[in-house]
Amino acid sequence: MVYMEGINQYYGDIMHEFYKDKKVLVTGHTGFKGSWISECLANMDADVVGYSLNPPTEPNLYNLLDLNSRITSIIGDIRDIDNLKKVFNEYEPEIVIHMAAQPIVRDSYKDPLYTYQTNVMGTVNICECIRQTGSVKSFLNVTTDKVYENVEKDEGYVEDDKLDGYDPYSNSKSCSELVTHSYNNSFFKDIGIACSTARAGNVIGGGDFANDRIIPDCVRAVGRKEDIIIRNPYSIRPYQHVLEPIFIYLTIMKEQYNNSKYACYYNIGPDTSDCITTGELADLFCKYYNKDNDFKVKWVNKSDDGPHEAKFLKLDNNKIKEVFNWKPVWNIEKAIEKTVEWTKAYYNNDNLLEVTHEQMHEYCQELHGGN
């Protein structure tokens, strides 16, 4: 397939040689970001083992990409430490990326106990398995931009700002950070395990069908040919395409595997210019969806008086830039354009694996300054 040649050339230069045949455990592999990173790792010939609940939605990216045919998938609950230990003992992963979570703010108000059990004790279980297994050399815990105590300040939060999420989801991810830091200081450093956490901003892209997220709400609205309902059009968030954090996750895990000096905690978000309101994001979605489309979508403001959510949130991304010489590749407009492109392909019944690989290829070309 032609579109794979360019992407494998990139991997060959930067990532493929490292990840080829590496045993990588991905928790949450059936989720949105988990599916994207599993696809990337599979294309780099990594030996990928996924551990997760069944895909959280129908449809879902995991099945649309037929990932079951290219990775080892284990359906299990992150709260089940006995089952987790069996997986670690059987597969002996060298690299672990922990993405399994209850990820929805509003759902955390509905079921805070499950949220804390999954996001806090799930992290404890993963750390305990890593501590006891002996095979793991590189561990990355993916958390969220919402781990900080949000005081609605205008500038972006830096990595040393206070951790104290407001709602049960955000707070549970703050706790997940602290659990990881404790295990790192108490155990991992002494036994040679490089450990980092990644606090990523709001991620968008093709294949996200979650509830209570703005882009999936847009996708469902155009599928039903209805108006997009926006409940908080003036809330500001650090939106970024899913490939931005995916590639820096891969970089962190690789670099700290080779040199533990790279093990730390990092913000991963867009530049300030791409932190926009939900209404502006919806405007961009409508702009690109309405191109060459008979049905013209629009959005309407309709608050549902839901629970508290932060109105203003930005991340300072200077640390990740300085340490890894990284910078965002796709601005918010390009991120929305590629999301809409994927969405149209989905509704047109196109080959979504090809579309996904083509977008990965394009991203990699631009990452290296190509055309």
pLDDT tens, 79-131? 999 999 999 999 999 999 999 999 888 899 999 999 999 999 999 999 999 99
Mean pLDDT over the full length of the chain: 92
State mean pLDDT over 299-309. Answer: 72
Share of the chain above pLDDT 70, in %: 93
Say which range, 212-216, 288-292, 310-314, has the weakest mean pLDDT.
310-314
pLDDT at residue 208, rounded to an integer: 96
Residue 213 lies in a domain: no
Residue 139: which pLDDT band, with cuts at 50, 70 and 90? Answer: very high
Residue 369 lies in a domain: no
pTM over 0.85: yes
On whether residue 97 sits in a domain, the answer given is yes
Q: Is 8 a residue whose pLDDT tops 60?
A: no
In a domain, 30, yes or no: yes
Q: Is residue 308 part of a domain?
A: no
Residue (of 334, 336, 241) closest to 286 by Cα position = 336
pLDDT of res. 29: 98
Single-letter residue type at 177: E
pLDDT at residue 264 tops 90: yes
pLDDT of 363 strictly over 70: yes
Residue 113 lies in a domain: yes
The answer to whether residue 135 scores a pLDDT higher than 70 is yes
Q: What is the mean pLDDT of residues 290-296?
A: 86
Task: Specify the pairing of strand 138-142 against strand 95-98.
Answer: parallel
Q: Identify whether the C-beta of residue 122 lies closer than 8 Å to the C-beta of residue 100.
A: yes
Residue 359 belongs to some domain of the structure: no
> Which residue range forms the structural domain that includes residue 188?
2-205+238-270+315-332
According to the model, what pLDDT value does residue 101 have? 95
pLDDT single digits (tens) 15-70:
889 999 999 999 999 999 999 999 999 999 999 999 999 999 999 999 999 999 99
Q: 290-321: string of b/e by CB count within 10 Å (b at 16+)?
A: eeeeeeebebeeeeeeeeebbeebbbbbebbe
Q: What is the percent of the chain where pLDDT is above 90?
A: 79
CATH code of 29's domain: 3.40.50.720
Per-residue pLDDT tens over the stretch 199-232:
998 899 999 999 888 999 999 999 999 999 998 8
Residue 266: burial class (beta carbons within 10 Å; 0-12, 13-18, 19+):
buried
Asked whether residue 5 carries a pLDDT value surpassing 60, the answer given is: no
pLDDT at position 13, please?
63
Given a cut of 60, whether residue 175 has pLDDT beyond it is yes
Cβ neighbours of residue 235 closer than 8 Å, sequence gap 6 or more: 277, 278, 309, 310, 311, 312
Does 108 map to a domain? yes
Query: For position 109, what pLDDT does the model report?
Result: 94
Domain count, the chain: 1
Query: How far is 62 from 205, CA to CA, in rounded Å?
Result: 14
